[in-house]
Homo-oligomer: A and B are copies of this chain.
Amino acid sequence: MSSRTANRSGIVIRRHVTPAGDIIVTLLTPQGKIKAIARGGVRGPLSSALNLFHHVAVQLYQTPQADLGTVRQAALEGALPTLSEPERYPYAHLLAELSDQLFQEGEFSETAFDLFAGGLRGVSRHPDPEWVGLVMSYKLLGLAGFVPRVARCAHCDEADPAHPDPLGGQLLCSRCASQPPHSEPVLTFMRQVLRQSVRALMEHPLEDADRDAAWRALERFVAVQVGTVRSAAGWRSRLQDGLRARA
């Protein structure tokens, strides 16, 4: 018997409240990305569970007539309250927005879910959430098939490029480049980030000064390959933020 209700468990990566008081959420689940509506939800008990970054179990109801499934029940399975802290919050947004852009509805991927969930946990707990955000962003991109070229110049295919690619976020050879070469740690990071394990990467964070270059490369790479990512304002917040959140 085909049922129109299904139980799913996932993390809220977007939440929007309509003026009518409906909550529209996007969940990343091991069975793929799901967008659903909780009608009148803002006035009811669903409102608490259906919050950004919450891990929730939901009962979905789908009819062929409606575009969006309806959330009927929602139970919180896990929340990471520290994600609201100013030094963590922008990186949680970045990972959620990237995941929303990179993974499509109906695309089954337990790996994507696990990677994102792990990234979010890291951002919520790690003493250096910025570093988690940078590493996990590259990991998510890599999983979705967006792999920066680092072995050869992005312009002329020359081997072993070492200079920034200010437009595309990859690497340029000395002839094609207009900027001085990356520092050795940044180069190593860019070459290794998709090869090394998260654990290994966590153990050797870049110095503060080098991170700017890595962030800039990531931002350009995403802008060209994936498209606008509005959390961009967030991921450079360490450069601009009046609070200088990082201790």
**Which positions in A face B, CB cutoff 8 Å?**
20, 39-40, 43-45, 63, 65-66, 70, 72
Cα A66 to Cα B44 with chains together (Å): 7
Taking CB as reference atom, which chain B residue is nearest A37? B40
| Cβ-defined contact, B20 with A43, below 8 A | no
A49 to chain B, nearest CB (A): 14
Taking CB as reference atom, which chain B residue is nearest A20? B20
A63 to chain B, nearest CB (A): 5
| Cβ-defined contact, B39 with A40, below 8 A | yes
| Cβ-defined contact, A66 with B43, below 8 A | yes
Cα A63 to Cα B40 with chains together (Å): 11
Taking CB as reference atom, which chain B residue is nearest A62? B44
Cα A72 to Cα B66 with chains together (Å): 16
A160 to chain B, nearest CB (A): 59
Q: Which 4 A-B pairs have the closest CB atoms?
A: A39-B39, A43-B65, A44-B63, A43-B66
Cα A43 to Cα B40 with chains together (Å): 16
Cα A3 to Cα B72 with chains together (Å): 15
A19 to chain B, nearest CB (A): 11
Cα A63 to Cα B63 with chains together (Å): 24
Taking CB as reference atom, which chain B residue is nearest A70? B40
Residues of B within 8 A of A39 (CB): 39-40
Cα A65 to Cα B41 with chains together (Å): 11
Taking CB as reference atom, which chain B residue is nearest A38? B39
Cα A40 to Cα B72 with chains together (Å): 13
Residues of B within 8 A of A20 (CB): 20
A46 to chain B, nearest CB (A): 10
Taking CB as reference atom, which chain B residue is nearest A40? B39
Residues of B within 8 A of A63 (CB): 43-45
Cα A20 to Cα B70 with chains together (Å): 15
A71 to chain B, nearest CB (A): 12
13 contacts between A and B (CB under 8 A): A20-B20, A39-B39, A39-B40, A40-B66, A40-B70, A43-B63, A43-B65, A43-B66, A44-B63, A44-B65, A44-B66, A45-B63, A72-B72
A45 to chain B, nearest CB (A): 7
Residues of B within 8 A of A43 (CB): 63, 65-66
Cα A45 to Cα B43 with chains together (Å): 24
Residues of B within 8 A of A45 (CB): 63
Cα A226 to Cα B43 with chains together (Å): 35
